Amino acid sequence: MNPQSADPIERLSPDECFELLRQANVGRLAVIVENHPDIFPVNYVADQGSIVFRTGIGTKFWSSMRDACALEIDGFDAGSGKAWSVVVRGQVHLIVDRQEKAAADALHLDPWQPGNKSHYLRLDLDAVTGRRFKVNRPDIWNTPVWDARSELFH
> What are the structural domains, with CATH classification, of the chain?
3-153 (2.30.110.10)
pLDDT, position 109: 79
How high is the pLDDT of residue 80?
Answer: 85
pLDDT of residue 11: 97
Q: Which residue has the higher pLDDT, 128 or 77?
A: 128
Residue 135 confidence (pLDDT): 83
Contacts 24+ apart (CB under 8 A), 113-119: 115/56, 116/56, 117/54, 117/55, 117/56, 118/54, 118/56, 119/54, 119/55, 119/56, 119/57, 119/61, 119/94, 119/95
> Would the pLDDT of 66 be above 50?
yes
Looking at residue 77, its pLDDT comes to 86
**How high is the pLDDT of residue 117?**
75
Q: Check residue 137 and give its pLDDT.
A: 63
- pLDDT above 60 (res 142): no
What's the mean pLDDT in 113-124? Answer: 82
Higher-confidence residue: 34 or 105?
A: 34
Which tops the pLDDT comparison, 133 or 112? 133
Does residue 2 have a pLDDT over 70?
no
CA–CA dist 80, 133 (Å, integer): 10
Q: Which residue has the higher pLDDT, 105 or 126?
A: 126
pLDDT on residue 136: 73
pLDDT score, position 1: 40
